[in-house]
Structure 1
Amino acid sequence: MNMTWEPEIDEINHRRALAKEMGGTDRVAQQHSLGKLTVRERIEALVDPNSFLERGILGGVGTYDDDEKLTDFVPKSTVFGIGKVDNRPVSVTGQDFTARPGSGSAGANGTTVTGGPRTISAEHISHEMKIPFIRLIDGFGADIRAVGQKNRTYIPNGNWKLEHELLSEVPIVAAALGSVAGLPAAWVPASHFSIMVKGKTQVFAAGPPVVKRAIGLDIHKEDLGGYQQHSRTSGVVNNEAEDELDALQQIRRFLSYLPTNVWELPPLGDESDPRDRKAHELRSIIPRDRNRGYNPRQLIAHVMDNDSTFELSRYFGGSQITMFARLNGRPVGILANDPMVHGGAQDASAARKVEKFVDTCDTFHLPIINFSDQPGFMIGPAAEAAGTLRAGVRTAVAIGQATVPWATVIVRRVYGVAGGARQDNSHFNFQLAWPSGEWGSLPIEGGIAAAYRREIEAAENPEEYRQQLEEKLISIRAPWRTAEDLDVEDIIDPADTRPMLSDWLDVAYKASERLVGPKSRGMRP
């Protein structure tokens, strides 16, 4: 008589092996032929080697003979568990398109497996353990075939309360890695960082067949929800990747700047770049000709630690730059203007981008450094129709609600409501200005035309009178008088920017120790 459990252990190993076959050899080959990795290959490339602890691997649908022997097994369409990224724990879930095209049928909704009274949820693992949550999304929501199988429909039920709690407590990342529709598409923006693969990924509320049936529009899936649509026009997705491995590496990079949860401070990185390094190149980076632009990313790179920047949403709201960086190894959030896009003016898209970025930095205690060259809001009928003012005010409120330490370096312009919003003085705002700085309620050139219209029109030579007014007011635009009145704290040699910000950041991180924990406002997706 066999006194061991060897037969059962063999059965466990057999079932695990079947689960790892996913949808079978043919479907795996088809996935590869599309230039896509399988869900297990994605997870292996994402997490540290040999760190993934899978949960619910035995879930699926088995077929048995009359002797209750397993004859066939279709694994669940979700793979999830706990892994490590840079030796820190994360909760990972991915849809297996080979097993059951990533749909919500047969006991799996993409992140949750249900059976009897028990629910195993990747979200709950993240919520209970307070660790980052990563979604690798490759599929759609409801499967219409399930309606026929169950012989009934159901009322949709989304647990967005849990989503909000997660957003307010741990980093959430969403990678769209296929054609994503329905509920999985909603998961993409319900994150702090989202990414899609160029030419391989589409995100939409409903795909082309549904669109054609509903509104009569025949459209290709790439035109409907490809990267040009969502990382460059709608802003639904933050970043775009060249391929899946690039997307997974960007996820690892994003997480490296953030704490495991809001009860911790961001992790310290490489400190080898000297804190007192002076970048003399900054003395000439801002042109004396006010009508000329410059490279703001080069400016930032001269100040921050070498090769430490990671930009978010570069191609959306391009007049404003949002990125993570490190200074003396410490993560910071960077805001800047790009004068090469709309002259740096803030439009509605840029305002929405900045609002979410400020919320993210505030949620995870990253001090913010604002390199200001803000000419104001975008103007004109298109800007008004886009709701630029409302979006801009939402950004101003987000900045006002933020409690993280804030430093402003005025590299050129600070004008109007948009410029003033980033100089929020409701709490301590460490402020430096370069000699190239200029500021006011609006630029002198445009302001004169409005404020002195009658005098100019009544002058014997209107153009000559306007030029005289401009020259008089421009002569007092230099920053010295503002500094005399202490309206700007200090005007510095641009080469000293890194050393001075380094000293400020020491104090800022010390102050941040008392700010850990969730924010009362929560996190807006």
Structure 2
Amino acid sequence: MSWEQEVAELNSRRELARRMGGEEGIARQRARGKLTARERIDAFGDKDTFREFMGLVGSAQYEGDKVASFTPKPQVEGTIKVDGRKVVLKVSDFTVKGGAGGSVTGLLGQELSASERAVEWRLPMVRLLDAAGGSVRGFEELGRTYLPDGNSFTAPDVRLLSLVPVVSAVLGSVAGLPAVLGPLSHFSVMVKGISQIFPGGPPVVKAALGYDITKEELGGDAIHVNVSGCIDNLAETEEDAFSQIGKFLSYLPSSVHEMAPRGATEDPVDRADEVLLEFVPRNRRRPFDGRKLIQLVVDNGSFFEIGPRYGRSRVTGLARFNGYPVGIMANNPMVGGGATDVAAGAKAMRLIQLCNTFHVPLISLADEPGFQVGLESEKQGIERAGARLVSTVCLSEMPWCTVVVGRLFGVAGQCQHRPSGMFRRFCWPSASWGSMHIAGGASAAYRREIESAPDPQAKRLEIEARLNAIASPFRTAEVTGQDIVDPRQTRALLCEFVEDAQRIVATQIGTPSMPYLP
């Protein structure tokens, strides 16, 4: 006897699920300038590679033993290939209950969630978020309220961060727990004009605080990409967001149990750009572009920047040297003199954690004048931020190479060095260093001598000249063995370091000792 009738019912139920929230809900979604969940799947990955799971979950209404109507769960989940590599994909379906609610409906016999599958299968996790979070409407459906205990099913999302690459794209107005899932990732992106995140939207703000505000003013990209740093990058379109996700994933392994894939490159290892010889101005009041410096030494076209609008005195991202993936960062003197403020320190820590988690070498191009000083910096807790950065540096284990191109001062400069593991440091002849800048340091250390002199200004200049005479990097090299290099050799030296690092990386494969904390 054939099972054709049951297969027909299976296909019928799948077709009902593909209708999502119905024609009216789909029309509203498109009217907002947004793709539907299933259109996003088609636009995101390699063609015809999506394999849905838990696709039959939902609420059915029966007439006898026949399904009269069916409302699918408000997420579409499955695996899909991105540039030939499989990832777990979870897509909010805003047309069904605003994307709110979990994908599970029972307790006994429950299948693994998307996050749990990513953990067990050691696959990257990608979330396309367009969900309103919890709603009081759900209380009526339950017939009761409930104690907030979501961490019972959020715990796998936290565990994921130390095991596989996790990416979140904010593709609509995202509130509640889904808003937290945005930054609970290694990389996040939102789309200009259609994306916002907040724990509670404008009606909640009005009820709690008594003022009116729009969704965009409350949680748009102007806030979360530029100011809060909750979201890393901004995309112009959903397709742009998908492209950025694919590029980010291309630098990383599928899990901590694999090595990052090497890419193809035709950029010569020994390329030596003459512009590097004069890249750092002798007059240090003239800043240089840290972003351009990165692009001059990495494989042509390989730099993928993360968080370009936040913590702008530090440039961070992923790149390649001779095809090998690296994390790379540079101070950017074009913004705040390149000093590390709380935001820039947070960016640096996240990159260090990313590299350490996935065993990717880290390259730092340092021109570090120190931690940002001043009243505003104190209000933001620069000391605690500095303590976290010091701790993150010391706990990291991946291969690390710092190239000191300019200044290296104070504790922030100290955070460009690690005393253990595979660490290498090169310095350009343009470099200068110490516990603090000579100009400000002389005024503090020699205050009494300066104030008691007949001509305090002349005495200060005399002391600074005396100190500057012994500040040559070659004097340091005479005693410490520090390697001073021709700036034009930088790319070749870094390519060699990154290739040598592969032997160390191979011994570090597995769960990192330092957990990833977003």
> TM-score, normalized by length of structure 1?
0.96
Q: Does 1:83 align with 2:80?
A: yes
In structure 1, C-alpha distance between the alignment counterparts of 2:407 and 2:133, rounded to whole Å: 47
Question: Once the 2 structures are TM-superposed, how far is the Cα of residue 113 of structure 1 from its aligned partner?
Answer: 5.5
Spell out, residue by residue over 1:7-62, the C-alpha distance to the aligned partner (whole angstroms, 9 max, x if none): 22222222212211211222212211211011111122211111110012222222
> 471, 474, 494: which one pairs with 1:501?
494
Calculate percent identity across the aligned residue pairs. 44
Hey, what does 2:295 align to over in structure 1?
301
Q: Which amino acid aligns with 1:398?
A: T
Hey, what does 1:40 align to over in structure 2?
38
In structure 1, C-alpha distance between the alignment counterparts of 2:158 and 2:116, rounded to whole Å: 13
Hey, what does 1:103 align to over in structure 2?
100
Q: Which amino acid aligns with 1:363?
A: T
RMSD: 1.4
Q: Which amino acid aligns with 1:152?
A: R
Spell out, residue by residue over 1:402-443, the C-alpha distance to the aligned partner (whole angstroms, 9 max, x if none): 100110101101000001111122344211111110100001
> 118, 136, 144: which one pairs with 1:152?
144
> 23, 26, 39: which one pairs with 1:25?
23
Moved over 6 A (4+): none
Hey, what does 1:267 align to over in structure 2?
261
Return 367-376 or 240-249, whichever deviates more.
240-249
Spell out, residue by residue over 1:70-96, the C-alpha distance to the aligned partner (whole angstroms, 9 max, x if none): 222212211000111121111000111
For residues 47-446 of structure 1, the aligned pairs below 5 Å read: 47-65=45-63, 67-104=64-101, 109=102, 112=104, 114=106, 117-157=109-149, 158-159=151-152, 160-446=154-440
In structure 2, C-alpha distance between the alignment counterparts of 1:9 and 1:370, rounded to whole Å: 58
Q: Which amino acid aligns with 2:3?
A: W
Question: Once the 2 structures are TM-superposed, how far is the Cα of residue 270 of structure 1 from its aligned partner?
Answer: 1.3
Gaps of 5+ in 2: none
Question: Once the 2 structures are TM-superposed, how far is the Cα of residue 217 of structure 1 from its aligned partner?
Answer: 2.3
Q: Which amino acid aligns with 1:27?
A: G
SS in 2 for 1:169: coil
In structure 2, C-alpha distance between the alignment counterparts of 1:405 and 1:270, rounded to whole Å: 22
- 8 Å CA contact retained: 2:130, 2:174: yes
Question: Once the 2 structures are TM-superposed, how far is the Cα of residue 385 of structure 1 from its aligned partner?
Answer: 0.9
- 8 Å CA contact retained: 1:396, 1:422: no
| Cα pair distance change 1:255/1:178, threshold 3 Å | same
In structure 2, C-alpha distance between the alignment counterparts of 1:329 and 1:250, rounded to whole Å: 19
- 8 Å CA contact retained: 2:357, 2:514: no
In structure 2, C-alpha distance between the alignment counterparts of 1:496 and 1:353, rounded to whole Å: 28
Return 298-307 or 212-221, whichever deviates more.
212-221
- 8 Å CA contact retained: 1:112, 1:122: no
Gaps of 5+ in 1: none
Q: Which amino acid aligns with 1:303?
A: V
In structure 2, C-alpha distance between the alignment counterparts of 1:163 and 1:422, rounded to whole Å: 31
- 8 Å CA contact retained: 2:398, 2:421: no
Aligned pair count reads 516
Question: Once the 2 structures are TM-superposed, how far is the Cα of residue 115 of structure 1 from its aligned partner?
Answer: 6.8
In structure 1, C-alpha distance between the alignment counterparts of 2:95 and 2:53, rounded to whole Å: 19
- 8 Å CA contact retained: 1:359, 1:523: yes
- 8 Å CA contact retained: 1:351, 1:392: yes
| Cα pair distance change 1:378/1:315, threshold 3 Å | same
Question: Once the 2 structures are TM-superposed, how far is the Cα of residue 112 of structure 1 from its aligned partner?
Answer: 4.5
